[in-house]
Structure formats: C-alpha cells, structure tokens
Chains A and B, each alone.
Chain A
Amino acid sequence: MDCKLDKVLLQDLLEGTIDPVERLFVEEHLKLCRECRRELTELKLLFWDLNDKSNYDISVPEELDQIKDLILEKAAGKTAKSTTEIIYDIQRQNLRASGMFLDYVPGLKTSNMLVKEGVKAAPSAMLRMSKGLIKGTRFFLAK
C-alpha cells in the first residue's frame, strides 16, 4: 500500500482543473488503487465541509456600525467645514432627500408633460372663455 500517485491530482480532479489526459490516467488508476479511492473520499468530504457556507457564518458585531462614524470622520477630516456650511449642507440634503421619491413615482413624468401641454393650451381656452363671457354680457345688456 505505497501508492506513488501525486495526490495533488486528486484535488485537481475534484476541482475540475485537471488536464484531460491526466484525468483519464487518474480515473484508470482509481479503479485499481484502494488507497487513492480512500484519499478521494476524504477529499470529497473535505471539499464538502470547506464549501459549506454555514461554516463561515459569523455574527456581525455592533461595533461595526460604530466605527463607521470614526472612519467617516477621518475621511472628512481633511476638508474642515464651518458650522454654517454643515447646517447649510444638511438642509440641502434634507430638501433633496424629501423630493427624491418623486423620481420613482410611476406616471409622474407623463402627468408632468400633460400639465405642460395644458399650460400651453391654456391661452386659447382663456380666449374662448372670455369670448363666451362677452357674448353673455351682451345678451344681458340687450335685455
């Protein structure tokens, strides 16, 4: 039981990175060699465990949120702002943020266009209305 086969080939076989010719060779060898079959089984188990994502699951600590401010502070440290500028920026951000949802409201663009068209059409409507009004007044005056 002293197999000379390079065990690395078995890893490559499982990873699919093996050369096609070597693959044929290894597959033939496995039919004859018990030791390598055992090694291959162990490697399969190893790959199974290594690829099992739950083995790497970790809980994210609260500190991760806390260091955010620290990092941002360091990053912003170079451009020191005056208080007025900061307040001004916050206000501007708030304004922008409060209107941000408008970009995502369905049909808003179309209705905007309709309103624009409506405004364009408005003068003629006004004209018609005033004409009607004049007619009406004449009617009353005649009486």
Chain B
Amino acid sequence: MDVSDAAVLKIYKKNKHQGLELLYDRYNKYVYTIAYNYTHNKEDALDLTQEVFISILKSMDNFKEEFSILPWVKRITVNKCLNFVRDRKEAVSLNQTVAAGNEIQDLICSPNNTESTTLYQDTRQSLENAIKKLPPEERMALLLRHMKGMKYEEIARIMNVPLGTVKTLLHRARKTVKVSIVEDGIWEG
C-alpha cells in the first residue's frame, strides 16, 4: 500500500472529517478526469464526482486497512459512470436525430458553427467525438486502457467482466474510433 494512503487511513481513524477531506483532495482530480473524459460534459462529470465520493465516504467505515484505496476508488468511479449513463437513457441527447434526420445539436444555433470549424478538426477533437459516440462499456474500456494505461487484467477486475470481454470491447472500440478518424481525414496529407 502507498504510504500516503496508509497515512490517510490513519488520520481518518483519528479524525473522520479530516481524513475524508484528505481523501477527497487526493483523488478528486483522478475521479473527475475519468468522469469528464467519459461524459464530455462538465456538469455530468461534477455530478458523477460527487456521487462517487459520497459513495466512498459512506462505505469508508467498512474499508479494510490491508487493501489499498486507489483500486477501490477506480472501481466505484467506473461503476458510477456506467450506471450513470444507464440511468440517463430516457433523457434527450443533443446527438439524437430528429425526424428530418438532423441532430438536435445541429439545429441549435451556435456562434462557432462556421465552416472552418467543420472543415478543420484537430486530432484531439476528432478523437473526442469518436470516443463520445462509443457505447458505454466500450468507451470505458478504451479510456481505462489508453488514457489510464491499465493492463487488461486490471480492466477486467475493475469493470467486473471476463478478460475475453475486455479484449472484445477494446477491439470493437478501436475499430469504430479508427473508422471515425479516417472519415475526418486526420491522418491525411
């Protein structure tokens, strides 16, 4: 276990409030980064971060000292993210297409909806768009593998799916993202 994790737990035992505060300071950016890259939306990411920490703090008393905190935080974050999308399925998404075939977000006028922005997209944006469109599980697996550099085994453990499923999710996700980037013409020229 990390020395600082042990220290956080020690402080938590003496003083709950202070321990929780330290825990939050230590992991909030980690959780927020995953949540943001998963939802691509500040409000949703903040909501998620809040949910994750409330659930961490609630079960903090039952946390065994011999385990380390980070994998536990990762697991809760991943679960919350995946459930979050499941809960929100009924909500209207801006990417939803209306009867005429246009996406809702295209119908809303936007100050930067000029031709230059649609013609020129940088890699980051193209990647972001592609990842955003992936199904939840594929998106999460891809982020954990490539953003967080996790091993397949770790992803399987955290997402609570078999190793083979992780491979399949990643294969499919990469294929979709590649097609999307090729369509955007990022690698040309």
Within 8 A of B (CB), among A54-88: 54-56, 58, 60-61, 63-64, 67-68, 70-72, 74-76
- Which A residues touch B42, using CB under 8 A? 61, 63
Interface size class of A (residues with CB under 8 A): 20 to 34
Measured CB to CB, the closest approach of chain A to B172, in angstroms, equals 9
Whether the Cβ atoms of A64 and B178 lie closer than 8 Å is: no
Residues of chain B within 8 A (CB-CB) of A67 are 46, 49-50
Q: Are A49 and B28 in contact (CB under 8 A)?
A: no
Asked whether A30 is an interface residue with its Cβ less than 8 Å from the other chain, the reply is no
B181 touches A53 (CB 8 A): no
Q: Does A137 interact with chain B (Cβ within 8 Å)?
A: no
Size class of the contact patch on chain B = 35 or more
Q: How many Å from the CB of A5 to the closest CB on chain B?
A: 14
B33 lies within 8 A of chain A by Cβ? yes
Q: Which of A42, A43, A72 gathers the greatest number of chain B CB atoms within 10 Å? A: A72
Inter-chain contacts of B143 with A (CB < 8 A) = 56
Q: Are B36 and A63 in contact (CB under 8 A)?
A: no
Interface of A is mostly: helix
> What are 26 contact pairs spanning A and B, CB under 8 A?
A11-B171, A17-B152, A17-B167, A42-B178, A42-B182, A42-B187, A43-B174, A46-B177, A46-B178, A46-B181, A47-B146, A49-B123, A49-B186, A50-B146, A51-B146, A56-B143, A56-B147, A61-B46, A63-B42, A64-B29, A64-B49, A67-B49, A71-B20, A71-B54, A74-B57, A76-B17
**A residues neighboring B (CB under 8 Å):** 7-8, 11-12, 17, 42-43, 45-47, 49-51, 53-56, 58, 60-61, 63-64, 67-68, 70-72, 74-76, 89, 93
